[in-house]
Amino acid sequence: MPAGPIGLVEVEERAWVEVDLAALWANYRLLAGRAGGEVIPVLKADAYGHGALPLARFLLQMGARRVAVATLAEGRALREGGVEGEILLLGSLHPLEAEEALKLGLVPTLSTLEAAEALSLRARALGLLPRAHLKVDTGMNRVGFPWEEAVSALRAVEALGVRVEGIYTHLATAGEDAAFVETQRRRFQEVRRALGEGYFYHLENSLGLLRHGATAGVRVGLALYGLVPGFGLRPILRILARPTLVKRLKAGDRVGYGGEYVAKGGEWLATLPVGYADGLPWGAVRCVKGPDGRLLKVAGRISMDQTTVLLPGPVGLEAAFEVLSADFGPTGLLAWAEARGTLPYEVAVHLSRRLPRLYLLEGAVFARVG
């Protein structure tokens, strides 16, 4: 049975992205309820392609205590965009980044004594108090002080005058290998017992929280954006487009590069002004939602800037098609990722910034980018 019409805010664009902030906040509250403690929104990679600056403003305004990004450049972009709240840098601080991190008021992650020494030295020169979180490696073997050396590492960092405010690690196999999750948790609990209270401990990621429960503070990205099915979370982003051409095909007409679709005759075709340059995975988008919510088949190959779809009948150029849906159906991000054999957040981070983005809250525009 076809779905109902697509709800629209009045938009004078031929193609655009909508982000539902009410759904984002509902996801945050659901995750916070499961965590029983602080939830840190992870906004790295432009909030997994959803737009870090407007989401940071919204989440901090709504009461989140801090947000996290991966790189110094991402933190700088938030500060330049007017974000004044606490920003945690998850990527291990390089000594060359210490001065700018201090000037921007970012809270870096320390994984080496070299970075701690640089942070301390530049802080003294600038007359600032250096603050940081300490990363301990409990089994992922990317960054962090070895968990067995956490006590000596903490003492060495604090001896440099750095105020360590948080201690954390990262789960390597959440949702895949429960036994190793427990191994990492046990190691982290040993670290916590050795270091004592007085620090903000955070451990679980999205899948760690949802599939294994919380034992400390949590950092969420994938779940925050509703990209984990089965837990009551809602995807928050969709792409809409209006046709630039609607035509009727004659028998034998071929559509698109390679002419893969050959018309039987009489079909109606709409050209939508979005393509793989906008983040539609080439070869993975098989259908879109029409103005009445019905699924419409993509005809031929997706082009860089255009996608052609078959219609049950003619529509006006003002009609809006839902190219990417905020759901777990065949036009959602998870379906795109599955068809491409990849992860949903890989698809999400490659969504193009060239489409204007509207950030909606209960039907009103909270922010616009582009």
Which are the catalytic amino acids? 44, 257
In this structure, the strands spanning 163-168 and 107-110 are: unpaired
**DSSP E strand stretches across 63-130:** 66-69, 86-92, 107-110
**Residue that is written with structure tokens 């500060």 in the block:** 79
| Cα dihedral 117→119→123→126 (10° resolution) | 110
Report the side by side order of strands in the sheet with 364-369: 295-297, 287-289, 321-324, 237-241, 15-20, 357-361, 364-369
- Look up tokens 């004078």; give the residue: 12
CB atoms within 10 A of CB 193: 9
Range list of H helices, 106-227: 113-126, 150-159, 178-195, 206-212
